[in-house]
Structure 1
Amino acid sequence: MPYDPAWKAEYARIEARMLEICGDLIITAEHVGSTSIEGLAAKPVIDIDLVMDSYDDLPAIIERLAAFGYEHQGNLGIEGREAFRGTQDDGFMKFHLYVCPKDGKGYLEHIAFRDYLRSSPAASQEYQAVKQRLAEKYRYNIDAYCEGKTSFVTSILQQAAAK
């Protein structure tokens, strides 16, 4: 979908709820993913990273989120990122919830990718073109869509690291 300024407001609502639930257990919350990049077309799904000091805090966070209907799914194959899914209607638009250690690879890559695209309109437009091409080709195959983005994402992370 074309960029929607309402995504910022929806992120703020989700963030406020997560801070109510476990704000004392986390350092910060970050809006990541395509909806966090102004002007970028995206799937209408908010990505939020809740950042913890270390994995020592994870059991308490899992327990707290579970009490509010969020089920821990493990890292889903991404080191340094623990995924959670809602088990009930919470009144928000669809969102992906991740809990990450402050020095975790998943979190650091989310931030590096987001910040690079925010600072480079050309890279953001190129990413949008890649995503739109893949969305047309793999409309009903999310795995192929995600796999198709891998080389672009990797190249941006390499450029971000070189900055």
Structure 2
Amino acid sequence: MAEKTKGVEVLPYNPVWKTEFNRIKEQLLTYVGDLIIGIEHVGSTSIEGLSAKPIIDIDLVMESYEVLPEIIERLQQYGYEHQGNLGIEGREAFRRSENDRFMNYHLYVCPKNGKGYVEHIAFRDYLRSNTVARLEYEAVKLQLAEQYRHDIDAYGEGKTAIVTSILEKAMN
């Protein structure tokens, strides 16, 4: 579900996010488990202690783009619409066309060496292991969420500098 949220709501970390990811993961494995090499919980909800928008980001990891057509076909059978890369190379977005009783989530399919996936994992792992960076990022997110409560684009743009800075450190 890669559509944009209408408002910006950043909530304190909730351990339910991990539980909900695992529920969604189990369902996705029944759909495409034989076509992928992994499923990763990425984004802010995957970082214990970090406030986040209550939307789970999920990367389905494939060996290569060779299996993407079959993944697209299979996911379409289960009510997902392929949205393309939405301007980010190395990441294919999917939107759920019907309610599936899970909390909101964004679903991406990424090749194991794709830029989108590699950056998601580096960013997540860096913030999981670096309390100072996590707290700095959280402070920026909370301030921007307050400032741009009804402007998701401005919220996202406001995070660009700190996200870029964290990624530069994480990728070295």
Report Cα offsets for 1:70-100 as digits up to 9, x if no partner: 1000000111000000000101000000000
Provide the secondary structure at the position in 1 that maps to 2:22: helix
The whole-number CA distance in structure 2 between the counterparts of 1:35 and 1:125 is 14
Counterpart selection for 2:155 from 133, 136, 145: 145
Determine the structure 1 residue equivalent to 2:164: 154
Corresponding residue SS for 1:40 = coil
Q: Letter of the aligned partner of 1:47 in structure 2?
A: D
The yes-or-no answer on 1:120 pairing with 2:125 is: no
Larger helix proportion of the pair: 1
Cα distance in 2 for partners of 1:44, 1:9 equals 13
Superposed, 1:67-146 pairs within 5 Å as 67-146=77-156
Q: Deviations over 1:90-127 (max 9, x none)?
A: 01000000000001000000000000000001100100
Deviating 4+ runs (over 6 angstroms)? none
**What is the rounded CA distance, in whole Å, between the counterparts of 2:30 and 2:133 in structure 1?**
35
In structure 2, runs of 5+ residues without a counterpart are 1-10
Cα distance in 1 between the residues matched to 2:167 and 2:138: 16
Q: CA RMSD in A?
A: 0.5
Which 5+ residue runs of structure 1 have no aligned equivalent? none
Q: How high is the TM-score relative to the length of structure 1?
A: 0.98
1:147 Cα deviation from its structure 2 partner: 1.0
Identity of aligned residues (%): 69
State the 1:160 CA deviation: 1.1
Q: After superposition, what is the alpha-carbon deviation per residue over 1:6-33, rounded to whole angstroms, capped at 9, x for unaligned?
A: 0000000001111110000000000000
Normalising by structure 2, what TM-score?
0.93
CA distance in 2, matches of 1:141, 1:17: 32
